[in-house]
Amino acid sequence: MSASHAIPTGSGRRLVLASFTMLFAELALIRWVAAYQIYVAYFTNFVLLASFLGIGVGFLRAGARRDLSRYAPLALAGAAGLVFAFRVVKVLGPDADIETIFGLPAPPIWIVLPVIFLSVVLSMALVAEGVGRLFARFEPLEAYRLDIAGSLLGIIAFSILSFLQWGPISWGLVLGALFLALSPEPLRPASHPRRTLGAVVVIGVFAMGSLASADTWSPYYRVTVHAADASGRIPIRVNSLPHQSILPVATLQQEFYALPYTHLQTASPGRVLIVGAGSGNDVALALAQGADHVDAVEIDPVIQETGQRKHPARPYSDPRVDVFVDDGRAFLERTDRAYDLILFALPDSLTLVSGQGSLRLESYLFTQEAMQTVRDHVAPGGAFAMYNYYRSFVFERYANTMREVFGHEPCFDPGARGLGPRRQAVLTIGRHPDDLACSTPWEPAPSVPLPATDDRPFPYVEGRVVPSLYLWWLGAIVLASMIIVRKAASAPLAAMRPYVDLFFMGAAFLLLETKNVVQFALLFGTTWFVNSLVFAGILLAVLGAVEVARRVRLPSPGVMYVALLACLIVAWVVPQAALLQLSVAPRFAAAVAIAFAPVFLANLIFAQRFRDVGSSTVAFGANLLGAMLGGILEYAAIATGYRALLGLVAGLYGLAFIAGRRHLHRAIVVA
């Protein structure tokens, strides 16, 4: 180790803690913003893009004379406070109004989103600057290893808190403790008043999210359960949006919930599967209709527990009911049971699998392949039904998907108008045309949208193009990012030119990571637990690659690029449908091999290149800004499908190879 990298005692531990803080703060902001700002409900990785920009800028500022990282706790508290103070709530009513604090009209999206974006960028930049200053004390590869170790701890800690269903006050306590531990003299916080005040304010701001007695924080949502009204209806909101209501059985029997049963040819629905069982309405109705047995699948444990406690019919306590807290598609793939009625009961999650990727919790439930799985689980003479408040093109897509899979038109029961352009509707279809009593079959519109597929699971996108609204916002983000990097970074942009290959590697790796997240969501479910395991697995693969690079003489970079390309080709060639046909254990083994082999090789290439960089913070900052570009390019999957991202990954690594070819000979000599 050179003299320039002499490491003070305890610096390694501090870098791990700082990286832990950075990753934990990013995850907390993703959950916090989604909980209080309905504007980001469909803006997929909005907070993630802001976080990557901020972290990249923070690393580029690590060489500045003035250390601004001391203000990181106050900046983080300020960002969270802004989100909370100007939270946006949808109000039920004929105009579907949105309100903010004190019932005032909510500010428009073009004001709220830029303010959130810039506040997240600022807070994460100051957090990352502290990480970068510690990062620079180490040899590059050792710094990267410690950073990944801290990030892994952050994932584990946040996952544990999600499992325990502890709300934001626990996030604030963890972050406050970490900020105090990172003070130059952690045992004497009074000597660092800014950090101490910031830590206290962080705890206080996040604690506000735990004060409302009606709120419970599940791994997916902020769930708000209101008091029952005069009719016995108990409204439930998630992330400030109306989601569902607990209703008495007598009310359910008079509304659209009961329509699927009117088409059955038998007096009793027999064995019933309800996907999206929620707070228990459909379970209670199925029991009232005389079901012999009900399998109730609900992905959110808090909503299911709310129904367990508050539903007046106590459906989840009935001995005829088995409850599965699981992803609906994953349950269908694993079970070998056949059902007389399968019901998709308003499985509209209103949230994303994670801050990364365009996948919503229910996206894989409405694909053509999912409908084929449903058909295979419908017993002879049985039926499948689904209902929701649909936009017209979404309704037409689902009806067309049912027709293509079952071979005949579903039965159509139109209902009342909902909020905005949505309309209530029930679609019911038998395994065979004569299995139902139906007087109103669906009549397709002149132009019917194609079904969503497992490769392109975007049922709510009308065409095969990225929506123009996304393009406008992404363009604005790119423009803002260029200005911010130019103005905020202490190092000139020219300092990043030697690391253009690392920039492309960052973009490619983010896309590769996204592809793995969505693939595991398909193969094993869109649950938070699967998502956490995937991210932890990716970090473990990265850490393993770093350890190998530190201890083993690697082949030439050209050889490893060829091996990486071969792994990407294998991932392209092996169809996801083939993996779904395997039982769980071999499916897991095959998925891990296919997904993590390119991750491991990509990080061997990165580690071999990174260990010899002249400025580790500038190089790593360039890599992180590349990851932000990858987050923007991820939206291309809306038009092309996720499989095509592998081609984009290969192209970006090709650009990295070309841009870094002058470093290849030196890497061979050093190795």
Which architecture characterizes domain 248-348+368-435 according to CATH?
3-Layer(aba) Sandwich (3.40)
Provide the token pair at 642: 């996720």
How confident is the model over 578-606, as a mean pLDDT?
93
pLDDT in tens, 251-295: 999 888 999 999 998 888 999 999 999 999 999 999 999 999 999
pLDDT in tens, 146-184: 999 999 999 999 999 999 999 999 999 999 999 999 877
Single-letter code of the amino acid located at 651: G
Quote the pLDDT of residue 579. 92
Quote the pLDDT of residue 473. 86
Residue from 137, 119, 133, 6 nearest 490 by CA: 133
pTM of the model: 0.90
Provide the token pair at 558: 């050209």
Confirm if 62 and 129 have CB atoms less than 8 A apart. Answer: yes
Which residues are CB-neighbours of 100 under 8 A, at least 6 positions away? 86, 87, 88, 89, 106, 107
441 secondary structure, DSSP code: B
Quote the pLDDT of residue 671. 43
Q: If you write DSSP's letter for every residue of 293-322 in order, what string do you get?
A: EEEEEES-HHHHHHHHHH-TT-GGGSTTEE
Q: Where are the domains of the chain?
A: 1-219, 248-348+368-435, 471-671
Q: Quick check: 97 pLDDT over 90?
A: no
Q: Quick check: 397 pLDDT over 90?
A: yes
In this prediction, residue 3 has a pLDDT band, given cuts at 50, 70 and 90, of very low
Q: Quick check: 89 pLDDT over 80?
A: no
Provide the token pair at 659: 């841009």
| Of 4-13, 158-167, 267-276, 658-667, minimum mean pLDDT range | 4-13
Quote the pLDDT of residue 670. 43
Q: Quick check: 410 pLDDT over 90?
A: yes
Quote the pLDDT of residue 2. 39
Q: Which fold has domain 471-671?
A: Growth Hormone; Chain: A; (1.20.1250)
The values of phi and psi at residue 99, to 5°, are: -125, 165
What is the percent of the chain where pLDDT is above 90? 61
Quote the pLDDT of residue 4. 44
Q: Quick check: 573 pLDDT over 50?
A: yes
The secondary structure of 442-466, three-state, reads CCCCCCCCCCECCCCCCCCCCCCCC
| Of 163-172, 353-362, 617-626, minimum mean pLDDT range | 353-362
Rounded to whole angstroms, the Cα distance separating 464 from 458 reads: 9
Q: Quick check: 349 pLDDT over 70?
A: no
Provide the token pair at 207: 């604690």
Q: Quick check: 584 pLDDT over 90?
A: no
Quote the pLDDT of residue 298. 95
Q: What is the mean pLDDT of the chain?
A: 88
Q: Quick check: 528 pLDDT over 90?
A: no
Q: Quick check: 669 pLDDT over 50?
A: no
How confident is the model over 110-126, as a mean pLDDT?
93
Q: Quick check: 487 pLDDT over 90?
A: no
Q: Quick check: 464 pLDDT over 70?
A: yes
In this prediction, residue 420 has a pLDDT band, given cuts at 50, 70 and 90, of low
Quote the pLDDT of residue 64. 83
In this prediction, residue 419 has a pLDDT band, given cuts at 50, 70 and 90, of low
